[in-house]
Structure 1
């Protein structure tokens, strides 16, 4: 049998056709290998380009949404969805570390990390996949790409009107005099009169930003920028992810004196802070402690101890002739509570600089649509962020002093009804919270 096989092989080698078949078969091996490498490299390059484009879009969307107020989780979700909308579902790759898992590629989220580069906010998006080669003889190849996008913060806003369509979402009219030098006024409304400026009022501001148009016939309008910026993208609620506090048992106002607080009765122990005398001397001050109040109307001279003052459904009112002082104080208006700060009151209140709501002076629940009035006078001072995101309208008049106040306002609509000036450099008073207009975004790599 071996002899027969040997004889056949000899005849095949002597045959010209047999030699050609063997040589052809041997030559096909490197040709096939080369073609396999070329095809796989082309497919790898295609997937790499698609991955890079998807990561660029993801990093861009992440830093944009994060810079406009979204928390990290929401920004990462958006980036992930953006990536796969661009990258698609590559059938020729599998996720690194999947160990044979049959889970679809879409379930493997990209990695997104936020950071800073100088004054810019950055988002870095990365992704890795293992390429399973076609044909044979090639080892799996890892495809990994990264993209970094950076956003320069836009000009800081003193006031932000959130309503998307309201006419006169921000208004200065009558004889009001408003100075927000160094910071901007921003309205999300797309209305032709989104920002409305008229009458004998005067306005001095860094710039005007609006998703709609500016209607201005003011006697005096001074902008530091070349002109108002119209039809820009709206700003997301910059504080929309913050968690509201919960109400507790109401603090009793019994014994605080009816001439000092609404609902106060008799003279005696005032909610554990002090004992109000029967015959109060001139200039006597009642002290109140933080906690939950069904309502709080201040009528006399009152000192607020530091902490959170939660108004549960009633009114927070500073009446005429009231004198209020307090450091480290934040008011919360929950369950439909309303705000009325009368022009005849004198107050000097600054916010708490610790906790989740550091830098906030007045906060209303996100379902609280009640209008609010804040009237100051030349002897009054209010510092901090007035955050009433659902309030149909805030009517605001500050103290009008040349020194200005460290105040920022966020509401659906804002109307300036008196003389006000605002400071720009308020990092300490606002606990580093800022409201920034959208800035330019660039890809670093």
Structure 2
């Protein structure tokens, strides 16, 4: 087993075409998946808890008879935290503190200003009432995702965070429950899949309806989130994990190889990209990857990811590297160079930017502080990391004084009549001082 990522040269005439082909990822579910998801959602809407228990028994192979069998309270979450090995508990608490501290800087406040005539304009910023957090279960256990999704909501002031996590064959991950306790979650339902998304979006007799659903999941979860969007808010429809590393050839090749592995090990569709102006360095990193691969627990997944979607790009200089970065708009970008600050003004599109040789992307996944829920598949061109602002909503404030209403009404009248909206015009005109 070896790795053979595609090698590209920026100077090739067909570079852009080759790159586009390698970046392409079709994550849209097929008609069969969509049909199943629509059926599940319709059943949960129609039959509530009954359908939810039925689907959970079928898909997760559980013997639950009522929702009480699928509900965990705060006491059980705290017990998971208290019984966790001390080293793991300490790691969760340190990571949670760092994540919370970072996100507290994002908190937005209401504001207003008053014009000379006494008119007040502003914005009222309030937290959402209730959000739902989807957490993958079974073999895919991510306590870090619990904290990254729940803590910003908690900082925003969300009153209630409802967590759903499937427990196939009854397997419960204590570290996930402990992370929920640390992050301020007080209620958990051990349900998953499209049925859990439907329950959160529409509510059942037991599961309360939420305002927004966040958190990663499989193709059924992603399809269900897309289906219920509009009924509730969602964070994003995420694609496979991505990492792009720009290196000046002065970082240890083994470090770079392992950083590429760190994302490739997520799944076979993950994408790892290395960009450098030094061809010899690219070859050194490839040699490091081939030497280190046998040591990896998930070597088969890493190899498939790198062989199917891995890319090594030779560029003439760092300016070209920045151009390629903006074209790709990667989820994770490592600037493993001597002076990353110098490149920063030229980087317009990236989910998260890891600066310097010592800033491994893996640190951001767990405990650096910034959120690891990031835009993928080039959506960093118009999307941002998950944050406190995703759990706040804003209302515009307008309080007109008599004088201000009179003056604005004159303008509104002209514009409304220009649009042939007579009622609009007359509504404004009633406020004009005689």
TM-score by length of 1: 0.21
Q: Which has the higher helix share?
A: 2
TM-score by length of 2: 0.21
Q: Which has the higher strand share?
A: 1
Higher relative contact order (CA 8 A, sep 6+): 2
